[in-house]
């Protein structure tokens, strides 16, 4: 079955290129900070925002310096992993998905677009009712679907989703490069993904 830690490590490669300087940032056109993929505006009640703000204040608002310090805090990193598992991985029931690659595709897209959009897109692809709810039928269909075909087709659907979003909301074009990077990372051939050191 799919493993959360592997997916989370790949997610952080897509989100921050595993760079201590990029862990804490503020994207143009967004309200609030983002820390290791947790967007403050979407998750304002996460209990670690006060601590993050204190570290940022200590560095006089220098996000890069604060980011480096925060990145070295192993307890904070553990809290990030716990949050992402509970709020995304578990809600999509990805522990029940047999393919690591399929689980990673759903997790990485779901964290960015939203869970329902990611699940509905996958449901359409595997031929089950697209209600955005991961039930036994969705899990069975995902586990029966060819991994390589899912990878290729889901990547195309992701790109189309982002381009459609940008066409409807041109102010989001500033995010295009990051979104393309995510989809390109998710598009790595399965053989190359197996070569990534997740330790």
Segments forming the whole domain that contains residue 149: 99-195
**Domain annotation covers residue 81:** yes
Instruction: Write out the two tokens for 182.
Output: 């995510």
Residues 105 and 82 in one domain: no
DSSP class of 28? T
**Domain annotation covers residue 124:** yes
Question: Largest Cα–Cα distance in the chain?
Answer: 53
Nearest by Cα to 156 from 190, 129, 122: 122
High-pLDDT (> 90) share of the chain, %:
68
pLDDT value at residue 141: 98
pLDDT value at residue 160: 86
- Residue whose entry in the numeric block shows the structure tokens 């490069």: 177
**Domain annotation covers residue 64:** yes
DSSP class of 41? T
Euclidean distance between CA atoms 96 and 109, whole angstroms: 18
Residues 104 and 189 in one domain: yes
pLDDT value at residue 47: 97
pLDDT value at residue 187: 47
Number of domains within the chain: 2
**Domain annotation covers residue 45:** yes
Which tens digits make up the pLDDT trace of 50-75?
999 999 999 999 999 999 999 999 99
**Domain annotation covers residue 93:** no
List, as one string, the DSSP characters of 85-153. Answer: IIIIITTTTGGG-S-HHHHHHHHHHHHHT-HHHHHHHHHHHHTS--SS---HHHHHHHHHS-HHHHHHH
Residues 80 and 117 in one domain: no
pLDDT value at residue 58: 97
Residues 103 and 67 in one domain: no
Residues 124 and 187 in one domain: yes
Q: Is the pLDDT of residue 195 over 80?
A: no
Residue at which a domain ends, from 30, 63, 87: 87
Q: Select the more confidently predicted residue: 155 or 177.
A: 155
On whether the CB atoms of residues 123 and 129 are closer than 8 A, the answer is yes
**Domain annotation covers residue 92:** no
Residues 124 and 153 in one domain: yes
Residue 112: CATH number of its domain: 1.20.141.10
Residues 82 and 107 in one domain: no
Residues 130 and 191 in one domain: yes
Residues 35 and 83 in one domain: yes
Mean pLDDT of the chain: 88
Residues 57 and 114 in one domain: no
Residues 187 and 113 in one domain: yes
Residues 69 and 103 in one domain: no
Residue at which a domain ends, from 87, 107, 128: 87
Strand 38-39 versus strand 34-35 pairing type: antiparallel
- Highest mean predicted confidence (pLDDT) among 14-23, 75-84, 175-184, 185-194: 75-84
Euclidean distance between CA atoms 156 and 151, whole angstroms: 9
Instruction: Write out the two tokens for 64.
Output: 């890069």
Computed over its alpha carbons, how large is the radius of gyration of the chain? 17
Q: How confident is the model at residue 176 (pLDDT cuts 50, 70, 90)?
A: confident
pLDDT value at residue 6: 95
CA 49 from centroid of its chain's CA atoms? 19
pLDDT value at residue 193: 35
**Domain annotation covers residue 94:** no
């Amino acid at each position: 079955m799919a493993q959360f830690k592997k997916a989370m490590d790949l997610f952080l490669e897509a989100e921050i290129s595993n760079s201590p300087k990029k862990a804490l940032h503020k994207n143009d056109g967004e309200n609030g900070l983002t820390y290791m993929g947790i967007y403050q505006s979407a998750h304002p009640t996460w209990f670690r925002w006060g601590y993050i703000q204190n570290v940022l204040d200590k560095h006089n608002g220098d996000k890069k310096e604060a980011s480096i310090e925060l990145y070295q805090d192993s307890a904070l990193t553990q809290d990030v992993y716990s949050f992402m598992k509970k709020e995304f991985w578990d809600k999509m029931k990805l522990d029940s998905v047999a393919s690591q690659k399929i689980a990673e595709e759903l997790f990485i897209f779901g964290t960015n677009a939203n869970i329902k959009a990611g699940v509905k897109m996958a449901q359409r692809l595997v031929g089950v009712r697209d209600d955005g709810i991961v039930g036994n039928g969705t899990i069975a269909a995902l586990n029966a679907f060819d991994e390589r075909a899912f990878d290729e087709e889901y990547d195309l659907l992701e790109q189309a989703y982002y381009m459609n979003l940008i066409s409807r909301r041109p102010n989001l074009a500033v995010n295009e490069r990051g979104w393309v990077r995510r989809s390109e990372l998710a598009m790595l051939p399965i053989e190359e993904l197996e070569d990534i050191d997740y330790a």
